[in-house]
């Protein structure tokens, strides 16, 4: 039997490796930005076309590469970051595996221009599908410019799996945020199809967060600082009153590398225990600095998961430091209920010494001076003291004889009991019984009953129906919204004062994709900036206080389910808003509302299930009830 195992050609091995490294255009953006940071760049420019499908270009002013390094950088397992196996446990750089450029070059057209500061000219290399097509000298500024064109051009199946441009751009912006927030001292610019998306100047961590998520973010942040032998924690958490239903603004950075950690996320939620509303998630931007020996970052291809040496101690420190910050800045309540925060010592007076109070005495003060000047003799009844000086105002007491005035007059004789009752007249009140009669009539017509403020019980010919009020209303609102969106026949209610809501650039871009459907639903948008939207009218089925939560839930659903376009997006929009405005469990419904909900539910085209395929009601037949007895 002949041998069947053989070595794979390099270009095939590179394409297989690219499956791990390059999942979508955002993966390329991450790798190229991290390479620019490792090159000690102070300015990085990202240029995107067609959400990265046509072009991804990263320009930096870093150290650049020599001719040999430029050619060698596209070979597999070629890196300048590590030399021995021990270096894997002392990593302070981003790209260290040496597979990124080789994998990217295997599935795209790559053009590299690079020059070191001491060189007069630079090097230009062009590669197509792992094959170098040209290498020549070029004129280029110091640093590196790398362009990735026609991603997955030689793997059409992978290209077909890419989502719409809006979805892929959203993933690119996510990666851009993660890299830019971890390196606030580096200036970043981002352009998409020729339009500027972000312009982030060199700043500090707080200012970088504000530049990304909008100016109103500044007032929402509470600083967190803690330094121990195990970890140094810096960063910010959001105030509890600004917590959202979405998890978008949650970032962990370990040694300036973005990570995802459900365990540490639980520590943050534990610190906010008792301060958040139901299903609300706090915002946090936390930078952890640990010894590289105590972590292992080489356990996941995308390096977004890290193994910590002592997770339990890190959990406790993170939770206690956040709790301390919330209490220090009067965000969390304290046990002293009579404490007045306005009486606290301001921070600017913290190190000042207390001043000793001084007592000043007016030694010339005489409390009897006025009395002596204006007073006459003690026996003089008409002295000037009685006219001009009255130290104590006293009301003149009436004579005690006044209490008995009128008692000596003739007292009217009291009538006898017989005479008294004989003169009493009773009003005849006709008892019509209309009150009880009307109630009996109403009770006779009652066909619904609300159970535990959660279920509506009603009768049918074969027995009884128990309706879940939240799910039933969700189905009713869902079908009504679908009709309004598709037919553009929604009724709007005008707001007395326009409603202004703040969102990040990414969230506003998400809302922009469904703006037409929202307008068909009844929303009217007046003005829109990079961080705010102004609403002048809302659908008649919603209230003004629900709008903010409704749009937050919609953004969360759009981020997670990422529909492309067409009916799937319309369906998601209707489902998300119906879930937000449907009447909740615990709301007491009047008799008319219960009856309306039951009638509306059974008038729906699909009354048995919610948009998420959950049952809206159950039935109990008389036979099933009889069996219980």
Q: In the chain, where are the structural domains located?
A: 10-200, 206-328, 455-619
| CATH class belonging to 206-328 | alpha beta
Select from 3.10.180.10, 3.40.50.300, 3.30.2130.10, 3.30.1370.100 the CATH code of 455-619.
3.30.1370.100
Question: If we measure between CA atoms, which residue out of 478, 454, 476, 466 comes closest to residue 587?
Answer: 454
Question: If we measure between CA atoms, which residue out of 100, 116, 96 comes closest to residue 108?
Answer: 100
As given in the structure block, the two tokens for residue 615 are 């049952």
| Distance between CA atoms of residues 157 and 177, nearest Å | 29
Select from 3.40.50.1000, 3.30.565.10, 3.20.20.70, 3.40.50.620 the CATH code of 10-200.
3.30.565.10
Question: If we measure between CA atoms, which residue out of 148, 149, 15, 175 comes closest to residue 94?
Answer: 175
| Distance between CA atoms of residues 617 and 465, nearest Å | 7
pLDDT value for 435:
38
Give residues with Cβ within 8 angstroms of 276, minimum separation 6: 240, 243, 269, 282
The list of the chain residues with pLDDT below 50 reads 372-390, 392-394, 415-419, 429, 431-444
pLDDT value for 439:
43
pLDDT value for 349:
67
Supply the DSSP string of 294-333, one letter for each residue. GEE-TTSTTS---EES-HHHHHHHHHHHHHHHHHHTT-S-
Give residues with Cβ within 8 angstroms of 268, minimum separation 6: 237, 250, 282, 284, 286, 318, 319, 322
- What is the value of pTM for the model shown? 0.68
pLDDT value for 429:
47
């Amino acid at each position: 039997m002949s041998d069947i195992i053989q070595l794979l050609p390099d270009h095939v091995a590179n394409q297989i490796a690219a499956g791990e490294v390059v999942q979508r255009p955002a993966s390329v953006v991450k790798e190229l930005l991290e390479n620019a940071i490792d090159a000690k760049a102070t300015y990085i420019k990202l240029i995107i076309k067609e959400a990265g499908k046509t072009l991804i270009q990263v320009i930096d002013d870093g150290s650049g590469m020599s001719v040999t390094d430029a050619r060698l950088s596209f070979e597999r397992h070629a890196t300048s970051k590590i030399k021995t196996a021990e270096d894997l446990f002392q990593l302070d750089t981003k790209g260290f595996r040496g597979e990124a450029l080789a994998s990217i070059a295997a599935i795209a057209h790559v053009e590299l221009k690079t020059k070191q500061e001491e060189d007069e000219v630079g090097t230009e290399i062009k590669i197509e599908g792992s094959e170098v097509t040209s290498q020549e000298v070029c004129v280029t500024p110091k640093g590196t410019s790398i362009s990735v064109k026609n991603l997955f051009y030689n793997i059409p199946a992978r290209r077909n799996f890419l989502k719409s441009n809006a979805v892929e751009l959203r993933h690119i912006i996510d990666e851009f945020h993660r890299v830019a927030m971890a390196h606030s001292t580096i200036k970043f610019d981002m352009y998409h199809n020729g339009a500027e998306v972000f312009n982030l100047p060199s700043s500090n961590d707080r200012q970088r967060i504000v530049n990304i998520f909008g100016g109103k973010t500044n007032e929402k942040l509470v600083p967190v600082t803690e330094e121990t032998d195990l970890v140094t924690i810096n960063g910010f958490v959001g105030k509890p009153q600004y917590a959202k239903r979405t998890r978008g603004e949650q970032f962990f950075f370990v040694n300036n590398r973005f990570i995802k950690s459900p365990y540490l996320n639980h520590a943050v939620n534990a610190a906010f225990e008792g301060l958040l509303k139901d299903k609300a998630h706090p915002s946090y931007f936390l930078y952890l600095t640990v010894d590289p020996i105590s972590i292992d970052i080489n356990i996941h291809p995308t390096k977004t998961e890290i193994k910590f040496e002592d997770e339990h101690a890190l959990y406790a420190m993170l939770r206690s430091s956040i709790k301390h910050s919330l209490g220090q800045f009067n965000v969390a309540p304290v046990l002293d209920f009579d404490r007045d925060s306005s009486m606290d010592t301001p921070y600017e007076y913290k190190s000042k010494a207390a001043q000793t109070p001084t007592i000043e005495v007016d030694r010339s003060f005489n409390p009897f001076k006025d009395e002596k000047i204006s007073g006459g003799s003690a026996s003089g009844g008409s002295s000037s003291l009685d006219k001009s000086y009255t130290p104590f105002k006293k009301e003149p007491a009436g004579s005690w004889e006044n209490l008995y005035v009128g008692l000596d007059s003739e007292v009217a004789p009291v009538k006898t009991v017989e005479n008294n009752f004989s003169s009493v007249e009773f009003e005849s009140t006709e008892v019509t019984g209309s009150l009880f009669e009307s109630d009996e009539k109403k009770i006779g017509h009652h066909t619904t009953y609300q159970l535990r403020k959660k279920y509506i019980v009603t009768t049918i010919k074969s027995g009884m129906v128990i309706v879940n009020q939240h799910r039933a209303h969700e189905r009713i609102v869902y079908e009504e919204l679908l009709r309004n969106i598709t037919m553009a026949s929604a009724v709007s209610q005008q707001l007395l004062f326009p409603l202004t809501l703040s969102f990040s650039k990414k969230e506003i871009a998400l809302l922009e994709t469904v703006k037409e459907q929202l307008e068909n639903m009844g929303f009217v948008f007046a003005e829109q900036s990079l961080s705010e939207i102004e609403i002048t009218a809302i659908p008649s089925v919603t209230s003004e206080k629900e709008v903010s939560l409704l749009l937050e839930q919609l953004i969360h659903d759009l981020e997670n389910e990422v529909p492309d376009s067409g009916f799937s997006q319309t369906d998601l929009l209707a489902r998300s808003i119906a879930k937000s405005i449907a009447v909740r469990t615990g709301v007491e419904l009047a008799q008319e509302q219960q009856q309306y909900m039951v009638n509306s539910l059974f008038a729906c085209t699909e009354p048995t299930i919610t948009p998420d395929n959950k049952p809206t009601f159950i039935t109990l037949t008389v036979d099933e009830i009889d069996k219980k007895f």
